[in-house]
Chains A and B, each alone.
Chain A
């Protein structure tokens, strides 16, 4: 089965089985990792902030204005910052590597 590889805030790498009908946030949250996702995935907070491995960033759907604006409420925003609720998992990104941003 497809998977994503997530580094949590303690630096531990977790391989998580991923389902095509989910967003990256849902996959991370349902695996029990510490991601707040306060608004539940409607792009209304910035608490599912992740860094996408540079090798993968160009394979993702482009960020829209809504997401870019919400990132203004996050800290330590980098060029590879994304809100994981705005990325749908597809087979194209099977094996994608992410790092949870600091809280």
Chain B
């Protein structure tokens, strides 16, 4: 199904969210695409509980509080969120608009694209093992869609965080589970840790101290995983390997869209924050210009100026009257106050 909107915003971090607000004040509708399962970007994923001290007027605010407040602030504009997906490709339509296609084949048509992708999309951190790709989606999975494939199979889970522990506990009901971690301490929720240790006592989970070194193919579609512990190499044969080492950020498909880049950052002007491609904008940590500072507050400023220029693409025949939210009746109506 084809969705239509004025602006597609790539990235639902703080700057992408505030862009919805600035666009909304100018009657410009927006839809956001993000690879995470929730809005908030790095603030929600990397440091939800850590304090930020340089948001104007907020003496201290956590990453999650900032996200929650921004979500509340943009609510009057009813933004549409397309989560768990990445923008794969963009192309021009016959009428000069953009057609954006995501990794799960969602199509969105828009007049402008705003790239607010921070340091890139969050993707699973993969163990640095040569040739691991050829086992991916056969023996190696970084996320689990259908757990029934593990029924009665030998599964090795790697990691010591919530994903590793939760899946260890869950899959121990149906599969033969080993959990490998570099130390016998875990940063997961205390409940999951005690459940796992109990399962280990009952011999329903086999805990292995070590770090993965290599993967080899064996007969009958299994794999042999070798690992190091105390400078000795051991191995274990399993049917499936599930590495859970958290997420990392990478620029991804944006690098292939022909925009002017500088060290994986998108070059923009400082009047409109437009890229080398007219009607594509870049704001927040992903852009670069002389004097750029990677601060959330710079991203907010960039969002406001970008919106002024988007107005010209979305309403070419209309005059944009600059108004303040404090005094404008019309803006109050939009903000539902």
Residues from chain A with Cβ under 8 Å of B249 in the complex: 38
Q: Is residue B245 within 8 Å, beta carbon to beta carbon, of the partner chain?
A: yes
**Interface assignment of A95: CB less than 8 Å from any CB of chain B:** no
**How far is the CB of A40 from the nearest CB of chain B, in Å?**
7
Contact of B161 among A39, A40, A72, A75 (CB under 8 A): A72
The residues of B that contact A103 with a CB separation of less than 8 Å are 128
A73 at the interface (CB under 8 A from B): yes
Most buried by B among A44, A46, A71: A44
Residues of A within 8 A of B42 (CB): 39
* Docked complex: A20-66 residues within 8 A CB-CB of B: 38-40, 42, 44-47
Q: Are A38 and B119 in contact (CB under 8 A)?
A: yes
Q: Mark B207-232, 1 if CB is under 8 A from A, else 0.
A: 00001100000000000000000000
Q: Tell yes or no: A10 within 8 A of B by CB.
A: no
Q: A45 and B248: CB pair below 8 A?
A: yes
Q: Which residues of B contact A77 (CB under 8 A)?
A: 182, 211
- Interface set, chain B 165-198, CB cutoff 8 A to A: 181-183, 185-187
State whether the Cβ of B50 lies closer than 8 Å to any Cβ in chain A.
Answer: yes
A38-B249, A40-B294, A45-B248 known; A75 vs B47 contact (CB < 8 Å): no
Q: Is the CB of A44 within 8 A of B47?
A: yes
Asked if A69 is at the interface (CB within 8 A of a chain B CB), the reply is yes
Shortest distance between the CB of A73 and any CB in chain B (Å): 4
**B294 x A76 contact (CB < 8 A):** no
CB proximity of B254 to chain A, nearest CB, Å:
16
Chain A at the B interface: SS class: loop
B228's nearest neighbour on chain A, judged by CB, is A76
Bound state CA distance, A102 and B211, in angstroms?
14
- How far apart are B41's CB and chain A's nearest CB, in angstroms? 12
Verify B248–A102 contact, CB threshold 8 A: no
Q: What count of chain B residues pass the 8 Å CB interface test?
A: 24
Contacts of A74 on B, CB cut-off 8 Å? 245
Q: Are B128 and A75 in contact (CB under 8 A)?
A: yes
Count of chain A residues near B, Cβ 8 A: 19
CB contact between A38 and one of B50, B127, B248 (< 8 Å): that residue = B248
Complex interface: chain A residues within 8 A of B47 (CB) = 39, 42, 44
Q: For B212, list chain A residues within 8 Å (CB).
A: 75
CB-CB under 8 A from A71, the residues of chain B are 182
- Pair A44/B46 contact, Cβ less than 8 Å: yes
Task: Give the nearest-CB partner of A74 in chain B.
Answer: B245
Is there contact, CB below 8 Å, between A75 and B294?
A: no
Q: How far is the CB of B40 from chain A (nearest CB, A)?
A: 13
The CA-CA distance from A46 to B245 in the complex, in Å, is 10
Q: How far, in angstroms, from A103 to B249 measured CA to CA in the complex?
A: 13
Give the shortest distance, in Å, between B109 (CB) and chain A (any CB).
Answer: 33
Q: Which residues of A contact B161 (CB under 8 A)?
A: 72-73
- Give Cα A73–Cα B245 distance, bound, in whole angstroms: 5
8 A Cβ contacts from B124-147 to A: 125, 127-128
Q: B11 at the A/B interface (Cβ < 8 Å)?
A: no
Is there contact, CB below 8 Å, between A72 and B181? yes
CA of A76 to CA of B125, assembled, Å = 14
Nearest 8 A-B pairs (CB), nearest first?
A69-B187, A73-B246, A44-B46, A72-B160, A44-B47, A73-B245, A77-B182, A39-B46
List 5 extra interface pairs beyond A39-B46, A42-B50, A73-B125, CB under 8 A: A38-B248, A39-B42, A46-B246, A75-B127, A75-B128
